[in-house]
């Protein structure tokens, strides 16, 4: 029987690697391929759409395998990570030569790519963060967040904790949208919870010891090993995980930043979706989103900073003012802004380039790319010279105002002198083995010396041909080079007779013979040896340069940080200037006033299509018009308006200018949105429950500082209970003590307009519509008062419904409307809440066999109903009568 395919030395090596990485798909390097074996191959082949084969056809235990070429492995690795798998990259860590062909080359896992640690930042969208999160559940819940592709590392914690996840942490996790979450071993409840909350994120269990901050051996700046709060513990677990899987990534993770959730506006996932901040509602893409609208950044650094600003609007008017100052200073100066933006462009993605260089497999080309970006910094500084002194405030956090980046001249110089302008592309993993010549001449005398020797040897060889032709008289004698056999003198068949005796035959070809001589062999050895020596030395120098860069990582990251802020600020200034946005006043008041506001995203789209956007005002104030009810037909512009106002508030608090003639925003702690069920039907969500859950969340969490946007409530159920819920919700927002959130409420329930009659801080508005021949024209202009109730009938008339039907419809509408008023002409629907103002009549929507008001009356009634008059004696009748009257007296104090 043939031996088992699992018994070969190579399979044994593979199995021992696999034993150390049982939960990963092992990419086992074999020459120019990464091979996968056994179960790994069976999993990966269909996912990567590659052929599953075996080399052991017919043998016992034939091993299934598949493979990908090394040079194109990266997208495959990323694909597997995206699908939630881990990939262990197992490289050959010695030359086949040094193993001498006697034994298997040594192989080691140099990197484990996981869903949250995707490794090489090539090919991932530079405009977004790609995060790994570690979570420490405890008395307070801490999370640490790392984008390993940039080294951006931050941590925060919630006050509350315990067995359930606090809402603030859930919302933060949803905002960060991590690819992978680390949780402590055994936290199964937590794992289940996270699965429902963040279905797209992989969950990885790590041992509890990893959470010990004291174990972190090389803490980044801002990491305190003596602390043991949950934020620090989460950070420790995250560093431990990176160290275990991609240790080199620690080199550019130079600083841990701490932030407080209470410093920024809360935007829950529903609101982010409804306002289409990062993804549009149609296909989840970036087109037609706020970020897409704002992102005129010149570098991915700026794009990511803008995204951060959109995701975390500020609450402190001073910090907001400082960003606004920066935007204003750039918005006011067109030529200088243009110069700055031109200067920013060549900087490219410093952070991800640094991450690339931190990888041991990085190439000279990666180093040169980083160098070119670093060299682009001084022109940025030059383009900033004009900025008034006060804008440069090095002590202030760089996110809130302009800071000139600090150049890193020594590093630039080193890389400039060390590397040629355009180093060659080198395949992944080959570490420049076959490429030479990228170290600049004059950088290292030793290298120059070797190169000189090689050069001389080559020159001697090429002169050798002419000399030998002359010496032998063989006119077509040629010196050939073969990569394996080396140099040879080639003589054709016809001239063999003239070959000198000292020629040693090397090789016989069809029409010629190849020879060598002692001299040629010596020269060849000199050239070959020299070339190898030079290549080894170049690799060594390149590694030295790489280490120098990694040591300067903190300075590079700092410069990148300043550039990010500059770029994001310049982008906001560009938008503001180009589209006529203005600087809003942001204060601690409770008003929200906008003159001629426009929708940041809809306006340009409309204008691009030849349309015109109609600006509208907003005037909300907690003490005055706290709730604005917008009635009116579909398509009149309600939704657009609601979102427009919310976006203006959000833009204002992120420090941007806003699309309006003027605006004042009293700081908003949270924007709540609840958007009509019909809008979501298309996405197949069970609507009414979702709708009510969102509404419950608003009523539970809104504060005096919140902005509440309600676009239809109660649509997902019957008219009566829908209307009743809508009504009660509006009343609650108005009446609940300590609430008073500024509210915009769009609804198709005209009845809600009646709220304004009884609630002082409720006001009505609608969008104007005109009849134009056979059509209704929407003017998109917001005007005070409720919309006409007969709008639908008007449209029916225009559509050609017979006049008699229209007339009858008007009568019925009149009746219905009349039915909503009580006998004193007051709106029945506006009746008192239980225990509320007692003077109001009952809710009028339901036909009333009016059940009597208090329990005593009810008891009296039921006693009367039960009484059997036929069998009652006069005495009993009197007793009953006395009992009944006493019941009624007890209940009625008057």
Binding site for ligand ADP (CB under 6 A): 602, 606, 613-614, 616, 634-640, 780
- Residue 660, CA distances (Å) to 319, 337, 576, 582, 619 in order: 22, 22, 10, 6, 13
**Nearer Cβ to ligand ADP (114/644):** 644
Q: CB pairs under 8 A, 24+ apart, for 872-879?
A: none
Give me the least distance between CB of 331 and ligand ADP, in Å please: 25
Residue placing its CB nearer to ligand ADP in the complex, 566 or 769: 769
Nearest distance from C-beta of residue 648 to ligand ADP, angstroms: 13
Query: Phi first, then psi: what are they for 525, rounded to 5°?
Result: -60, -40
Q: Which is nearer to ligand ADP, 68 or 602 (CB)?
A: 602
User: Which residue lies nearer to ligand ADP by CB, 224 or 768?
Assistant: 768
Q: Given the complex with ligand ADP, which of 571 and 645 has the nearer CB atom? A: 645
Least separation in angstroms between residue 678's CB and ligand ADP is 10
DSSP state of 440: P
Asked if 291 and 310 touch (Cβ cutoff 8 Å), the reply is yes
Between CA 90 and CA 14 the distance in angstroms is 9
* Between 169 and 650, CB nearer to ligand ADP: 650
Secondary structure of residue 837 in the 3-state scheme: coil
C-alpha distances out from residue 707 to 278, 674, 733, Å: 20, 11, 11
Residue 664 CB, shortest distance to ligand ADP, in Å, is: 20
Backbone angles phi, psi at 598, to 5 degrees: -130, 165
Least distance to ligand ADP from the beta carbon of 859, Å?
50
Between 233 and 638, CB nearer to ligand ADP: 638
CB closer to ligand ADP out of 614 and 830: 614
**Inter-CA distances, 178 with 129, 196, 269, 438, Å:** 9, 14, 14, 39
Residue with Cβ nearer ligand ADP (145 or 677): 677
Q: Residue 669's Cα: distance from chain center in Å?
A: 22
50 alpha-carbon distance from chain centroid: 30
Q: Of the candidates 732, 653, 579, which has an alpha carbon nearest to the alpha carbon of residue 311?
A: 653
CA angle, residues 114, 120, 126, in degrees to nearest 5? 100
CA distance 27 to 80: 11
Minimum CB separation of residue 632 from ligand ADP in Å reads 6
Closest contact distance (angstroms) between CB of 83 and ligand ADP is: 37
Look at residues 659, 668, 571, 584 and name the one whose alpha carbon lies nearest to residue 324: 584
DSSP state, residue 335:
H
The side-by-side arrangement of strands in the sheet containing 25-30 is: 53-54, 64-69, 33-37, 25-30, 87-92, 107-113
Comparison of 144 and 630: residue with beta carbon closer to ligand ADP: 630
Minimal distance, residue 659 CB to ligand ADP, in Å: 11
Three-state DSSP class for 125? coil
Nearer to ligand ADP, 66 or 782 (CB): 782
With 0-12 CB in 10 A as exposed, 13-18 as middle and 19+ as buried, what is 389?
A: exposed
117 strand-pairing partners: 114
Nearest approach in angstroms of CB 292 to ligand ADP is 17
CB of 778 to ligand ADP, least distance (A): 7
| Separation of alpha carbons 66 and 45, rounded Å | 6
Smallest separation (angstroms) from ligand ADP to the CB of 723: 18
């Amino acid at each position: 029987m043939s031996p088992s395919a699992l018994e070969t030395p190579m399979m044994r090596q593979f199995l021992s690697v696999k034993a150390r990485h049982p939960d990963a798909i092992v990419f086992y390097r074999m020459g120019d391929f990464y091979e996968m074996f056994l179960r790994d191959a069976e999993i990966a082949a269909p996912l990567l759409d590659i052929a599953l084969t075996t080399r052991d056809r017919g043998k016992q235990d034939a091993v299934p395998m598949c493979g990908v070429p090394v040079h194109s492995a990266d997208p495959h690795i990323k694909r597997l990570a995206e699908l939630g798998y881990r990939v262990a990259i197992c490289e050959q860590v010695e030359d086949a030569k040094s193993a001498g062909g006697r034994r298997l080359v040594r192989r080691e896992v140099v990197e484990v790519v996981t869903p949250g640690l995707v490794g090489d930042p090539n090919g991932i969208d530079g405009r977004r963060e790609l995060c790994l999160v570690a979570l420490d559940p405890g008395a307070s819940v801490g999370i640490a967040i790392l984008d390993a592709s940039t080294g951006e590392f931050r941590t925060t914690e919630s006050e509350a904790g315990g067995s359930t996840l606090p809402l603030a942490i859930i919302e933060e996790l949803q905002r960060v949208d991590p690819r992978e979450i680390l949780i402590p071993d055994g936290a199964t409840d937590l794992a289940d919870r996270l699965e429902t909350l963040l279905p797209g994120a992989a969950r990885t269990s790590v041992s509890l010891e990893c959470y010990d901050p004291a174990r972190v051996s090389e803490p980044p700046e801002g990491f305190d090993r003596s602390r043991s709060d949950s934020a620090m513990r989460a950070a420790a677990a995250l560093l431990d995980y990176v160290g275990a899987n991609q240790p080199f990534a620690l080199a550019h993770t130079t600083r841990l930043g701490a932030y407080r959730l209470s410093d920024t506006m809360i935007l829950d996932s529903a609101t982010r979706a409804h306002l289409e901040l990062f993804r549009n509602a149609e296909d989840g893409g970036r087109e037609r989103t706020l970020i897409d609208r704002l992102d005129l950044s010149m570098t991915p650094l700026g794009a990511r900073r803008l995204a951060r600003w959109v995701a975390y609007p500020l609450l402190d008017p001073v910090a907001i003012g400082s960003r606004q100052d920066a935007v204003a200073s750039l918005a006011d100066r067109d030529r200088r802004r243009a110069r700055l933006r031109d200067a920013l462009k060549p900087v490219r993605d410093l952070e991800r380039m640094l991450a690339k260089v931190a990888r041991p497999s990085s190439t000279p080309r990666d180093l040169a790319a980083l160098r070119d970006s670093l060299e682009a910094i001084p022109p940025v500084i030059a383009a900033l010279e004009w900025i008034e002194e006060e804008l440069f405030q090095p002590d202030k956090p760089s996110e809130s105002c302009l800071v000139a980046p600090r150049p890193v001249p020594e590093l630039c110089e080193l890389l400039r002198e060390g590397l040629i302008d355009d180093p060659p592309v080198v395949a992944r993993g080959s570490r420049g083995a076959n490429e030479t010549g990228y170290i600049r001449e004059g950088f290292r005398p030793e290298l120059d010396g070797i190169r000189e020797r090689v050069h001389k040897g080559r020159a001697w060889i090429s002169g050798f041909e002419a000399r030998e032709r002359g010496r032998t008289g063989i006119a077509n004698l040629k010196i050939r080079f073969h990569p394996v056999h080396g140099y040879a003198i080639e003589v054709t068949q016809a001239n063999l007779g003239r070959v000198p005796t000292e020629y040693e035959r090397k090789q016989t070809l069809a029409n010629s013979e190849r020879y060598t001589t002692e001299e040629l062999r010596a020269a060849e050895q000199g050239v070959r040896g020299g070339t190898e020596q030079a290549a080894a030395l170049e690799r060594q120098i390149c590694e030295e340069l790489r280490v120098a860069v990694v040591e300067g990582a903190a300075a590079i990251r700092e410069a990148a940080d300043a550039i990010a802020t500059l770029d994001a600020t310049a982008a906001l200034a560009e938008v503001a200037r180009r589209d006529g946005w203005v600087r809003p006043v942001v204060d601690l008041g409770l008003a929200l006033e906008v003159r001629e506001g426009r929708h940041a995203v809809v306006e340009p789209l409309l204008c691009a299509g030849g349309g015109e956007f109609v600006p509208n005002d907003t005037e909300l104030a907690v003490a005055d018009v706290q709730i604005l009810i917008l009635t009116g037909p579909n398509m009149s512009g309600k939704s657009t308006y609601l979102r427009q106002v919310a976006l203006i508030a959000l833009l204002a608090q992120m420090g941007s200018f806003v699309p309006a003639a003027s605006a004042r925003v009293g700081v908003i702690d949270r924007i709540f949105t609840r958007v009509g069920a019909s809008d979501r039907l298309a996405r197949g969500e069970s609507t009414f429950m979702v709708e009510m859950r969102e509404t419950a969340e608003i009523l539970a969490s809104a504060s005096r500082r919140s902005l509440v946007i309600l676009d239809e409530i109660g649509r997902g159920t019957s008219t009566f209970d829908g209307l009743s819920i809508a009504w009660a919700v509006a009343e609650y927002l108005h009446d609940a003590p300590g609430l008073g959130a500024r509210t915009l409420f769009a609804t198709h329930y005209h009845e809600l307009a009646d709220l304004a009659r009884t609630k002082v801080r409720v006001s009505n508005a609608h969008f104007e519509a005109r009849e134009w021949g056979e059509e209704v024209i929407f003017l998109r202009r917001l005007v005070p008062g409720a919309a006409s109730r007969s709008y639908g009938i008007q449209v029916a008339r225009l559509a050609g419904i017979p006049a008699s039907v229209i007339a009858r419809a008007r009568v019925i509408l009149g009746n219905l409307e009349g039915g909503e008023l009580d006998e004193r002409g007051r709106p029945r629907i506006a009746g008192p809440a239980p225990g509320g103002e007692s003077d109001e009549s009952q809710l009028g929507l339901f036909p009333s066999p009016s059940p009597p008001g208090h329990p005593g009356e009810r008891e009296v009634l039921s006693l009367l109903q039960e009484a059997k008059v036929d069998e009652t004696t006069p005495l009993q009748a009197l007793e009953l009568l006395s009992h009944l009257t006493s019941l009624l007296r007890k209940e009625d104090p008057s």
